Structure formats: C-alpha cells, structure tokens
Structure 1
Amino acid sequence: MEKPNSHRWLTLAIISISGGVSFDLAYLRYIYQIPMAKFMGFSNTEIGLIMSTFGITAIILYAPSGIIADKFSHKKMMTFAMIATGLLGLLMAVYPPFWVMILIQVAFAITTILMLWSVSIKAASLLGNHEEQGKIMGWMEGLRGVGVMALAVFTMWIFSLFAPENPNSLKSVILIYSGVYILLGVLCWFFVSDGFTTTTDAAEKPRAFSLNDIISVLKISTTWYCSMIIFGVYTIYAILSYSTNYLTEMYGMTLVAASYMGIVINKIFRAMCGPLGGLITTYTRLKSPTRVIQLLALVSIATLALLLITNQNPTSVAVGIGLILLLAFACYASRGLYFACIGEARTPKYIMGTTVGICSVIGFLPDVFVYPVVGHWQDTLPAADAYRNMWLMGLGATCLVVVFTFLLFSNIKRASAKNTTGQPVTE
C-alpha cells in the first residue's frame, strides 16, 4: 500500500536531519575548539590530528558505503548508525584520553560514513521517481542545513548558560547531541523503509546487487560525469570557507562582522538555497537538475570573473559581500541538486548506492587538496595574489562543471530517445 504524501515528506525530514547532524560531534572542533583544549586537555595539534583521523578514514569509507546502501536494509543501517553514534558521544562526554579520542573518531567515520552516508542519500532518492530527484535532493540539502543550524544554536545557548570555567558546559553539549542522535535512530526505525521493495520503472526489473556491479558502475560514463560535477561544485564549497579571511584581509572588515557573514554563508544560505534549487526544477520549465546546475555554473563563472576584477582594487565592501553571496547561492543550490543528477541519469536502483559512494570519493577530493594549497598561498604570497589564485582555482573547477553537465545532459537526452527500452545509456 502506497504511503501518504505527508508520510513521505516526514520520512525525508528524518533522513535528512539524521544525515546532517550526525557529523556534528566528529566536527566538534569547528565551534568548540577552545573548550575542547581547556576541558578535554588536548593541544591544538592534537585536536588537528583528531580531525584529520576522521577525514582520512572517511575518504577510505565513502566507496564501501555505497555497497552497504545496495546490500543492506536502510532502516536497520540508519537506526544502528544513529544510535551507535549517540553511544560514542556518551563515551566522548567523559573526556577520554587522546588515544581513545582517536579511536572514537575512527568509529564516528564508520557509523556516519560507512553505515549512513550513501544509505541516507539512496533512501531519500527512493522516495521519488527520476523526475522528482531535483525536488527531493534539494529539500534534503535544505533540511540538513536546518537541522544542523537549529541544533547548533540550541547547544550554543545551553553552553552559554554555564560559567566560563565550568567543564560541564562542553559535556552538556556533547550529551545533547548524543541524546538527539539516539532519538533520531528510533525515529528511523519507524519511518525509514528497508529499501528492497521500492517501486521500479516498468522496464527496470528489480535484481540483487553483486560485487561485479562495482565494475559496471565504473564503466558507466554518467558515473564519471556526475563525479566531476560534484568535484567542481565542492571545490567552490571549500573555497567559500575562506570568505571570512577574504573580507577581513582584502576589505578590512572586522573579524566579528566577517564571522557573522560566515554564519550567513555557511549556515543560513545552506538551509535556504538547497530547497530553492529543487523548487526551480519543480515549478519552472527547467525540469532537469543537470541543466539547472549548468546554468548556476555559468552564474558562478561570471561572479568569479568579477571577483578577480575587484580583487585587484577592492574598494566597496558591499560589492565584495554581494559577489560572495551570489557565489554562495549558486554553490548551495547546486549542492542541493548534484546527487539528483545520479537519479536523473536513470541509474538502476540496485547500484544507486554504489554509484553515490564512488561519486563521493571522487567528488569530495577537494577536501584533500584545497585547504593545504590555499593555506600555502596565504602563508607565502601577498593577500591579493593568494586570493587571486584561489578565485582562479574556483574558475577552473566551475568550467569543469559546465563541461560535464553538458556531457551528462547530452547522455540523458539520448537515454530519453531510447525510452522504449528504459535502459540507461552507458557508452
């Protein structure tokens, strides 16, 4: 029996919020680095090693996470992953020694990346057909942002209620996150389906996943097209994390004001722009997520060109802020759609998770090189030259998006022309 539409959207909200907030304890340093050093007794170097442990493990686990999504029950995996992450948080709340924190970070990568990442994306994707992927993935990105923002604001408020020297302040934050994870795990059990008995297209017969299908995924051209689209958009996403530095160093903006702009860009825009991308594919003539990303990439290219021009003579901070906000809009709207390209390309459902995993490994590689490269430029070059190089990197990445969205859209049109067979184009 088909579930009512309200149930489908509630399920999407639970999947999205779970997938979004599950990383917050692993990335606790982003907001609470000073309290971690003070109350947990770690040096900044040790905190950095703790973070890099999670990042390295995550890169290794993205691809196998796709296999997990194709072979195992989504309900069981998401429930276990969220509850296990919550229990790891309870261990983290006792302020363990450094070597235990390293092990906890490895375990966080297992529960959030291996067991949850591709599973949550595939589970959300299966809530609609290939024509609804833009809407579903757009709202998924937006709901992730809303969940992360709401929980971050709430825990920050709780943290502020304690005296500055009270070690229970950080402990309370960790315990709240842990409790929310366990609650979301319970909700996943009641709302998320197994993912085995979904509605299939008329010409797509359900079949079991086998390890040989990994080779099949790698042979499909759309896998590589989608991977490079994610790679280009994610490079801009990484570059936008330097917005605070750019506004302070190039325009003389105060650190407090620039930090508020960072919150607007990284939190508020993430929550708003993902659904906007989905709305564009739903309520305008631009039904294709791939085509929308391509048009947003053209907007990004124009914006980056203007940033390169103003970088030579930064005079108006309003212009600088406006250009960065426009770039952020294009980036976050694209982030809300890039996994929809996998569904739009009619990727068979039995290899959807594997495709997401492989695309994640390739697409998120900017996490490995953008930060050390831009950091090196900041340390060795004058500010104007460092940020010029950064915007040029972004321009090159965005050109990749234009090229590969063109290739993907051409492939999708050929697949539509062969609609009588219902098979994806794989040449």
Structure 2
Amino acid sequence: MQHSPWRRWITLAIISFSGGVSFDLAYLRYIYQIPMAKFMGFSNTEIGLIMSTFGITAIILYAPSGVIADKFSHRKMITSAMIITGLLGFIMATYPPLWVMLLIQVAFAITTILMLWSVSIKAASMLGDSSEQGKIMGWMEGLRGVGVMSLAVFTMWAFSRFAPDDANSLKTVIMIYSVVYILLGILCWFFVADGTSQNAPGAVADKKTFQLSDILSVLRISTTWYCSLIIFGVYTIYAILSYSTNYLTEMYGMSLVAASYMGIVINKIFRAFCGPLGGIITTYSRVKSPTRVIQILSVVSALTLAALLATNSQPQSVAIGIGLILLLAFTCYASRGLYFACPGEARTPTFIMGTTVGICSVIGFLPDVFVYPIVGHWQDTLPAAEAYRNMWMMGLCAVCMVIVFTFLLFRKIKGEEQCRSITSLE
C-alpha cells in the first residue's frame, strides 16, 4: 500500500498538515491575544500563564513521546491525537474559566506532543530510505508551513466577518480549527500506516522490537547528541528571529505595520517555502547529505550574523537590514526542514527512531526556555543597540556550535559508510 508514490506523498501531506496545525489552538495567543482577553475574560498575565503551562508540559513530554512512537501504532496515535485535540477545542469554544483552560493546555500538550510529535516525524521518515530523508523532512517542514499559513488566513477571514464586539468571532475561529483537526484525524486513519518498518520503501525491516532499556542505548549513541545540539543551535536562531519586528522598529525606525508585515513574511511565508528548498538542495545538487547542507547553511548564517553585528551600532540602510534578516531566515528555515533528517542519515535503527527524535527534541528545543527571558531582559535593561548586539552574538555562538557538530556528525557518518564498504568487500 505504501509503495505507491502518489499515496506516499498524500500521506506525507496529511501527516505534515496535522503536525503543523495541531499546535494552533494551544498557541492561539500568537494571533488572537487581544480577542482572548476581550471575549474569554483573561488578563495578559493569565494568558501568559496559559502559554507557559503548555510549554512546561511539552518539555516534559518530548522524551516519552519518542517511546510512544516506537511502541504504538502510528495510525492509531495520530488519528486519536487529532480527534481528541478537536474535541478539546469544542470545550475551549465555550470560553471556560482559567482553571479549565489550564487543564485544556495540559491536555493539548498530551495530544500534540506526547501522542503526535515524535510519531508524526517517525511516520514521515519511514516513507523513504536513508537517502531520501532530506527530501522528506524538507517537504514535511514546508507542508507544515503551508497548512499553518492557509488555515491562519482562512480563520482570520472568518474572524473579520463579525462585528468587532461580537464574541462569536473568536468562538468561530476555535470551532473551525476543531472541525479541521477531526477531519484530518479521519484522513490519518485511512492513509497513515501502523508503523512497522516494512512500510518504508527500500528499507530493510528491523527484526528487533523496542525495549525500554533501549532508551539508555540511544543516550549512549554519539550521533544522538550531535543531532540534538545541531537542532539546539538552529532553534536558537529560530527563536531569535521572532525579534525581527522589534529590531527593525527600534534600530531602523520602520513603522510597526511595515515591520509586522515583515514578521508575517519571515514566520509564515518563509517557513512554507524554505523548508522544501533544503530538501531540493539535498536531492538535486551535488551535496546529497542533509548534514552537509545544514553545515553550509550555517556558514552562510555565521557570515550574515557577522554583518548584522557590523551594522548594528550604526544602522544605515533599512534595505540592508531587511536583506540580512531575510537571508538569516532562509538559512534557518532551510535547516529546520533538514535537521530531523540527520538521525535518518546517520542510519538510526527504525525501532529506536522515535526515542531518538524525542530525546533530540528535549535537548534541541531548550532555547524555548531561556532565549525569550534573556533577550527580554536585555531589551528592558540595556540600550537597544547593546541589547541587539548581545542577541546577535548569542546567535553567532549557536551557529558556530552547529558548524562544529555537523562536522562531527558528517565525519561519523562517512566513517561508518567506509566500515560498511570494507565489510561488504570482505
């Protein structure tokens, strides 16, 4: 069933759309913070508490989500995760009190992180062999972006159909997301495989099944740590790019509206298009290795950050500032589309792929915990030029880390390939 090329790409699209949009209700504040305060009756502090509740629970659940991916049926987990998330949305649409919203956020973390995150990445990775991981993960990131962008535009249009003081506007947005989640869950039931390694085209089936003791084995594998720290470095740049609007406004004097449009270009449009570009590079260029492509992109990032540091103290042309930030965004999103291809390229056994993704996610997404409070503190306590200089320095350190660990990972992959070649000749 999974061997049909058209079905394989439809399955990838469904998994990607599901994995992308599943977070939108948990992160409703990103677009609808003011309506949440107005219609749901929460203060900005309470909305912040709602967000942090999801974030803290998510960090706890990333690692066990990998075990879930290795132990349970992908079809059942993704389907049930999407349908339950949709049902939770219906409860959210009743505008419940704060304690119920906090419980809903914990439940969202269980469905989107524990039940869906590592499962969706492993299910996607199994749609191709080790040579196709860059292409598959690149398109997965891009399709996630397309799904998020399309649904965001549609719900924003629906929201705008109501009068400004009509409480049904936000309720309608939440209901649309809920219905889409349930429909995607139903599609997942018919298209996603259970998750046995035989479904991967051209892949050799793993005879060994996952044991809980394999968690320690994953932690002992050097490539797990290399992949984790590559993700850590790229994700630091991703977090820093969220301050692009502030930077252009404070340092170049752009209007808030113009800077906000730039934020949409960076966070929505670039996410949709740059992820697949990374996969296209690995597929059609002479550089076939996702790890190597990330390394090249990181060198470009380092040069871009050096230019941002050079122009930071005396910003002159806003066009140069925009151009540098867009170049940094391109390298970041193209790398994001490839970094989960690294465990596959390193030939991580299928039966521990989910656990590997879970551990990489815990370590790799730690910048979510420290980047925002640190940069926020700099913004509050330092002159703008000094605050953003520190921010770009943090980014440069992260990119240098990516260059180092992509070098180590690529050397490890090549060494193992040479060992296999020698063994086959013997």
- Does TM, scored on the shorter chain, surpass 0.5? yes
Instruction: Tell me the distance in 1 between the aligned counterparts of 2:252 and 2:203.
Output: 57
Equivalent residue of 2:315, what SS? Answer: coil
Code of the residue aligned with 2:317 in structure 1: it is S
> Could you say which residue in structure 2 is the equivalent of 1:93?
93
Matched-pair contact (CA < 8 Å) for 1:204–1:422: no
Correspondence 1:195-206 to 2 at 5 A: 195-199=195-199, 205-206=206-207
Instruction: Tell me the distance in 1 between the aligned counterparts of 2:337 and 2:371.
Output: 21
Question: Does structure 1 residue 396 correspond to structure 2 residue 374?
Answer: no
> Could you say which residue in structure 2 is the equivalent of 1:34?
34
> Could you say which residue in structure 2 is the equivalent of 1:47?
47
Shift of 1:397: 0.3
Identity %: 79
> Could you say which residue in structure 2 is the equivalent of 1:244?
245
> Could you say which residue in structure 2 is the equivalent of 1:138?
138
Instruction: Tell me the distance in 2 between the aligned counterparts of 1:24 and 1:170.
Output: 13
Matched-pair contact (CA < 8 Å) for 2:129–2:203: no
Matched-pair contact (CA < 8 Å) for 2:193–2:199: no
After TM superposition, where is structure 1 displaced by more than 3 Å over at least 4 residues in a row? 199-205, 420-423
Matched-pair contact (CA < 8 Å) for 2:197–2:203: no
Q: Deviations over 1:188-217 (max 9, x none)?
A: 000000012425777764211000000000
> Could you say which residue in structure 1 is the equivalent of 2:313?
312
Matched-pair contact (CA < 8 Å) for 1:89–1:178: yes
Q: Deviations over 1:77-112 (max 9, x none)?
A: 000000000000000000000000000000000000
Matched-pair contact (CA < 8 Å) for 1:203–1:421: no
- How many positions carry a matched residue from both structures? 423
Which shifted more, 414-423 or 373-382? 414-423
Question: Does structure 1 residue 171 correspond to structure 2 residue 171?
Answer: yes
Instruction: Tell me the distance in 1 between the aligned counterparts of 2:372 and 2:366.
Output: 11
> Could you say which residue in structure 1 is the equivalent of 2:290?
289
> Could you say which residue in structure 2 is the equivalent of 1:106?
106
> Could you say which residue in structure 2 is the equivalent of 1:15?
15
Q: TM-score, structure 1 length as denominator?
A: 0.97
Q: TM-score, structure 2 length as denominator?
A: 0.98
Code of the residue aligned with 2:173 in structure 1: it is V
> Could you say which residue in structure 2 is the equivalent of 1:361?
362
Question: Does structure 1 residue 180 correspond to structure 2 residue 180?
Answer: yes
Instruction: Tell me the distance in 2 between the aligned counterparts of 1:207 and 1:260.
Output: 51
Matched-pair contact (CA < 8 Å) for 2:85–2:108: yes
Matched-pair contact (CA < 8 Å) for 1:217–1:223: yes
Cα distance change, pair 231–69 in 1 and its aligned pair in 2 (3 A): same
Instruction: Tell me the distance in 2 between the aligned counterparts of 1:155 and 1:202.
Output: 40
> Could you say which residue in structure 2 is the equivalent of 1:218?
219
Cα distance change, pair 207–41 in 1 and its aligned pair in 2 (3 A): same
Instruction: Tell me the distance in 2 between the aligned counterparts of 1:146 and 1:412.
Output: 32
Equivalent residue of 1:287, what SS? Answer: coil
Instruction: Tell me the distance in 1 between the aligned counterparts of 2:266 and 2:128.
Output: 29
Cα distance change, pair 281–197 in 1 and its aligned pair in 2 (3 A): closer
Q: Deviations over 1:328-381 (max 9, x none)?
A: 000000000000001000000000000000000000000000000000000000
Instruction: Tell me the distance in 2 between the aligned counterparts of 1:290 and 1:205.
Output: 24
Which shifted more, 192-201 or 4-13? 192-201
Instruction: Tell me the distance in 1 between the aligned counterparts of 2:328 and 2:290.
Output: 18
Equivalent residue of 2:325, what SS? Answer: helix
Instruction: Tell me the distance in 1 between the aligned counterparts of 2:49 and 2:205.
Output: 46
Code of the residue aligned with 2:3 in structure 1: it is K
Question: Does structure 1 residue 300 correspond to structure 2 residue 301?
Answer: yes
Matched-pair contact (CA < 8 Å) for 1:203–1:422: no
Instruction: Tell me the distance in 1 between the aligned counterparts of 2:109 and 2:411.
Output: 36
RMSD (CA atoms): 1.3
> Could you say which residue in structure 2 is the equivalent of 1:235?
236
Instruction: Tell me the distance in 2 between the aligned counterparts of 1:185 and 1:176.
Output: 14
Matched-pair contact (CA < 8 Å) for 1:225–1:405: yes
Matched-pair contact (CA < 8 Å) for 1:29–1:47: yes
Instruction: Tell me the distance in 1 between the aligned counterparts of 2:343 and 2:423.
Output: 15
Code of the residue aligned with 1:20 in structure 2: it is G
Code of the residue aligned with 1:101 in structure 2: it is M
Matched-pair contact (CA < 8 Å) for 2:134–2:341: yes
Equivalent residue of 1:407, what SS? Answer: helix
User: Where in structure 2 are there 5+ consecutive unaligned residues?
Assistant: none
Instruction: Tell me the distance in 1 between the aligned counterparts of 2:234 and 2:422.
Output: 32
Matched-pair contact (CA < 8 Å) for 2:312–2:385: yes
Shift of 1:69: 0.1
Correspondence 1:326-337 to 2 at 5 A: 326-337=327-338
